[in-house]
Chains A and B, each alone.
Chain A
Amino acid sequence: MKLLTHNMLTSKCLKGVTVGYPLGIVAKDIKVSEVDFNSEFIARIIPKLDWATLWKAAESIGHVGELPQTLIQDFETNEEFLKKVHHVLLEVEVINGDLLCPESGRKFPINDGIPNMLLNEDEV
C-alpha cells in the first residue's frame, strides 16, 4: 500500500464511525521501489492531499526524509520539492502491517501490500 492510498482511505464504512480518518499505520515490512516521476500529476494531486496526515504517516514509518511539516506555497514550480513528495507518495510501500481505525480501534490487516477492508456482517 502506497502512502497516496493511505491518504485517501477512511474507515467510515464501519457502523457507528462518522469520520474514520486518518487511519493509523503499524508497519512491519516496508519496501521502497522506483516509480516514474510525473511532476504534473504530483502537482495536481497535492491540493487533494491532507498534508498533515501524509506527514504523520511518513514520520510514523520512518520515511519522512526532508519533507516539511507544513505545505510550502509555490510547490507547483519547485521540482526538488515535487520529487520528494513523489518519493513519499508513490515509492514507499507498506507490505505487511495493520491499519487502525481512529474511532473504534478496529484493525485492518495489510498482507502483501493489499489492505483488507472487508467488514464482518455485524460491522456494516
Chain B
Amino acid sequence: MSRRPEHLAPPELFYDETEARKYTQNSRMIDIQNQMCRRAIELLLLPENTTHLLLDIGCGSGLSGSVIKEYEHEWIGIDISSAMLGVALEREVGGDLILGDMGQGMPFKAGTFDGAISISALQWLCNADKNSHDPPKRLYKFFSTLFSCLSRSARAVFQFYPENSEQIELITTQATKAGFYGGVVVDFPNSTKAKKYFLVLMTGGATVLPRALSVNETDSVVPYASRREQMKKAKGKYLKNSKDWIIEKKERRRKQGKKVSEDSKYTGRRRCGRF
C-alpha cells in the first residue's frame, strides 16, 4: 500500500480530527513543519524590519502561521480541511482563516499580498479526487489567481513532496504559463530524509534563484575528475572495512547531512594491541 497521504483520501477527508490532533501533539511533526516554514520565509527574501501581509496556502492548524508571527508579519491563511482550521482556532494563531480549495482559485483582489508561502500542500493538487478534477487545469487556475493577488516583485515559496519528476514538470509548466518566473530549489539533495523541495516563484522578472542548502558547497557542480572516480567504482566496490570503504561511507553520510567524525591519519587504522 502507498504511504503517500494523497493516495489515501482527498485532503478535506484525510485531515480529519485525529489527523489534525497530530499536528498539535506530535513534537517531531511540529519541529519539521517549523523548520520548513523558517526556510520558506527565508527564501521569500522580504525586506527586514517591516511588517508584511503574507498568504499561507494550506495553513492547516496554523503551525506555519505561528512562525510567520515570530517574524512579526501579518498573515491570512486558507485551507480545505475544516477540522484543521478548527484546531487553528483553538490554538489562537493570530491570523485570519478562510475555508477554501486552492484548485478553485485564490479569492482575493489584485495586488493584496507581499508574499505567499505554502508548506506541504502543493502535491495535493496533482491528484484528481473527483471526476470533475483535472490537475493541470486546477494548477493553472491556482497559479493564475495567485499571480494576480500578489503585489509586483513579491515571491511565492512552496515546500512540497513531489512523487516523481513528471509532477515537478507539471507544476513548473503551469506556473510559468501563469506568468511566474522561478524554479525548484532542492535542499540536501543527497539525503533521503533531509531532502526538501522548494518551488520558488517570482512575479517581477527573472532573477537568480537562491542557493540550495547542502553540506558541501561544491555539491551542485560535478567536477570533471569525478568521471575517473566513477570508472574506478564501476569495477567493483571497495573491500568491506578497508580504509577506502570507510572513507567512502563517511563521505556518503556527510553528504546526507549526518553527523560524521572528521577524517584524520588514524581513520581506518587498527588499534595497537596494547589498548
Contacts and interface: CB of A to CB of B under 8 A. Distances in A.
Contacts, number: 76
Contact of A124 (B80, B86, B104, B108): B104
Interface stretch (B91-99, B163-171, B182-190): B91-99
B124 to A, nearest CB: 15
Contacts of A12: 105, 107
B26 interface: no
Nearest to A4: B96
Interface in A68-102: none
Residues of A in contact with B, size category: 20 to 34
A40 B51 CA distance: 7
Contacts of A5: 76, 96, 98
B51 to A, nearest CB: 4
Interface residues of B, number: 31
Contacts of B50: 40, 44
Interface string A49-67: 0100000000000000000
A116 B99 contact: yes
A39 B100 CA distance: 31
Contacts of B76: 4-5, 8
B103 to A, nearest CB: 8
Given A8-B76, A41-B51, A45-B53, A117 B107 contact: yes
Interface of A: 1-2, 4-5, 8-13, 21, 38, 40-41, 44-45, 48, 50, 112-119, 121, 124
The 7 closest A-B pairs by CB, nearest first: A41-B51, A117-B100, A13-B105, A5-B96, A116-B99, A8-B112, A121-B132
Interface of B: 50-51, 53, 74, 76, 78, 80, 82, 85-86, 89, 96-101, 104-109, 111-112, 130, 132, 141, 145, 149, 151
